[in-house]
Amino acid sequence: MYPLFESLCVQQGRILHEEWHRLRFQKTYQNFFGRPPAFDLLDSIDLPQSFCQGIVKLKIRYNNKERQLDFQQYHMEYIQSLRLVPTDDFDYTYKYCKREKIDALFSLRGDCDDVLIVRNGWITDSSYANVIFFDGKDWWTPEVPLLEGTCRARLLAEGSIKTTPLQVEDLKNFQGLKLINAMRDILGTNQSWPVVMIGAGNLGLALLGYKGFGQQNFSIEAAFDADSKKIGKVIQGIRIQALDELSETVKTKGIRLGMVVVPADRAQEAANDLVKAGIEGIVNFAPVTLTLPADVQEVAVDLAIELEQLSFAVTSILNRPTNQQSDSPDVLSNPSTIAPHHRD
């Protein structure tokens, strides 16, 4: 039987942030079993060849004598709403394999994607991740989480986030939130992410001039178009390149994220070009569903649908009685105000 476990992110055959997982393992082992570890949790891990590409979740279950390894290809699920769920005091100080209490709280999410657990009146974590809140200047995380995650610990050590005691009434002071855990480094903004874009039309040109990317450590490093009249032009310091330069540019600049900003009838071809060049994640602005390999992630941005939802919201407000509340007090809608989140 294995009472405890660690979840690690394996990216292109490399385990990320080993030192932080090893540190938590050593602390947990000492406190749980009452003595120093009898083995190194991360010693001599041979990755199966089938899990050396893309993003893989490595789950290591362990007891006081041995470990058990489990590899899974990782796919992210969009999180757009959290339900505030209160609970009494219960212990999840260590990463226990048994999660019955958390699973029971998760089952109370209703029509939301996940829960935000409020323990004894204090904001803690979601069911699978620590949470950080943005106040317009700094990122804050609850002072006492259910579990001290490795990503949380690292960001605190780097000074990227700060701790503060948080109650439900404090949430109104924040502009947005992010969910963080070991797998969140896949699209983490604690490092710089160069991006390539296909499509230099009106929307593409607007994206080239958007300053918000830099604030989240994303930068468009290259832009491509099939129109010979656009190739060679310099927009916002970026030269528009021909598509036959795509693969070499991606390789040279170490780019892993791409954007498809072309009409619907050309979107799949553009996506195919990005995949062939080695891109691992695509933001699709075209109103069409892309067919992609299982190890390539996609986030779709359909502006027409967004406007439709906005018009519906405006209409709902106009038609709402003046004494009716706009939102359920126990639901945080669209936590992706600051950035998209996905459930692990």
Tokens of residue 187, six digits: 């699209």
Is domain 77-188+331-343 given the CATH code 3.20.10.10 in the classification? yes
Query: Tell me, what's the pLDDT at 37?
Result: 98
Domain ranges in the chain are 4-73, 77-188+331-343, 193-301
Integer CA distances (angstroms), 80 to 41, 108, 114, 275, 297, in order: 35, 16, 9, 27, 17
What number does CATH give the domain 4-73? 3.30.470.10
Q: How far apart are CA 92 and CA 98, in angstroms?
A: 10
Q: Around 39, how many Cα atoms within 13 Å sit in the side-chain half-sphere?
A: 12
Query: Tell me, what's the pLDDT at 192?
Result: 63
CB atoms inside a 10 Å sphere around CB 144: 13
Q: How far apart are CA 10 and CA 283, in angstroms?
A: 22
Topology annotation, domain 193-301: Rossmann fold (3.40.50)
Query: Tell me, what's the pLDDT at 210?
Result: 87
Q: What is the pLDDT of residues 255-292, one digit of tens each?
A: 999 999 999 999 999 999 999 999 999 999 999 999 99
Per-residue pLDDT of the chain (344 residues; tens, 9 = 90+): 999 999 999 877 889 999 999 999 999 999 999 999 999 999 999 999 988 876 789 999 999 999 999 999 876 666 778 999 999 978 999 999 999 999 999 999 999 999 999 999 999 999 999 999 988 889 999 999 999 999 999 999 989 899 999 999 999 999 888 889 988 654 454 456 889 999 999 999 999 998 878 766 788 999 999 999 999 999 999 999 999 999 999 998 889 999 999 999 999 999 999 999 999 999 999 999 999 998 788 888 876 655 655 665 565 545 545 444 445 667 776 554 434 444 45
